Amino acid sequence: MKVNSADIVISAVSSKQYPSDSIPEIALAGRSNVGKSSFINKMINRKNLVRTSSKPGKTRTLNFYIINDAFHFVDVPGYGYAKVSKTEQAKWGQMMEEYFQTREQLKLVVLIVDIRHKPTEEDVQMFNFASYLEHPVLIVATKLDKIAKNKRDQHIRQVRNAFITEYNDQPNVMPFSAETAENKEEIWAVMEKYLK
Q: Which residues make up the interface to ligand GTP (CB under 6 A)?
A: 30, 32-38, 52-54, 56-59, 77-78, 142-143, 145-146, 177-179
Say which entry of Mg ion, ligand GTP, none residue 63 contacts (CB below 5 to 8 A, set by partner kind).
none
CB of 102 to ligand GTP, least distance (A): 22
- Give the nearer residue to Mg ion in terms of CB position, either 58 or 107: 58
Interaction of residue 37 with Mg ion, rule CB under 5 A: yes
Size of the site for Mg ion (CB under 5 A): 3
Helix or strand or coil: residue 129?
helix
Q: Which of 64, 47, 71 is nearest to 8 (CA)?
A: 64
DSSP state of 16: G
Helix or strand or coil: residue 79?
strand
CB of 9 to ligand GTP, least distance (A): 18
Q: Is 85 exposed, middle or buried, given 0-12, 13-18 or 19+ CB atoms closer than 10 A?
A: exposed
Say which entry of Mg ion, ligand GTP, none residue 119 contacts (CB below 5 to 8 A, set by partner kind).
none
CB of 31 to ligand GTP, least distance (A): 7
Interaction of residue 63 with Mg ion, rule CB under 5 A: no
| Cα distance between residue 41 and residue 45, in whole Å | 6
Say which entry of Mg ion, ligand GTP, none residue 103 contacts (CB below 5 to 8 A, set by partner kind).
none
Can you state the percent helix, strand and coil of the chain, rounding each to 5? 35, 20, 40
- CB neighbour list of residue 161: distance below 8 Å, 6 or more residues apart: none
Interaction of residue 41 with Mg ion, rule CB under 5 A: no
- Give the nearer residue to Mg ion in terms of CB position, either 55 or 149: 55
CB neighbours of residue 69 within 10 Å: 10
